[in-house]
Amino acid sequence: MLKIYGIKNCSSMKKAFDLLNTLGLSYEFHDYKKHSIDAQHVQQWLEQAGAEVILNKKGTTWRKLDEHQQRAALDNQSALIDALITHTSMIKRPILETPHGLIVGFDEEKYRHLTQ
């Protein structure tokens, strides 16, 4: 089964939900706002996809961090994990766990390949 992580009120999440439903793919939704996220999941994602893929530097939450906080998160994986757990909006959305690995961010082509 697919598991999708993010927050409900996000345009990328809405696109992902709509396409998954259109494709008839069943999935479980994990809402960070309701259920947060644990360090183990974040660490696994970082190991699979890397910090540059998982960390959303374009969002306002990242930009609101001061330079020292940003540097600490970039220089130390445990500091990055703590930052991502504390500020889940800094995790790129959506993250879709599939039997073949992660799809980070909404990628219509990759979602469509899940039906093949």
Active site residues: 10
SS3 assignment, position 78: helix
Give yes or no for a contact between 110 and 103, defined as CB atoms under 8 angstroms apart: yes
> What residue type is 74 in one-letter code?
L
Q: List C-alpha distances in Å: 81 to 31, 49, 66.
A: 18, 14, 17
Residue 72's H or E segment, with its range, is helix 67-75
Give yes or no for a contact between 38 and 81, defined as CB atoms under 8 angstroms apart: no
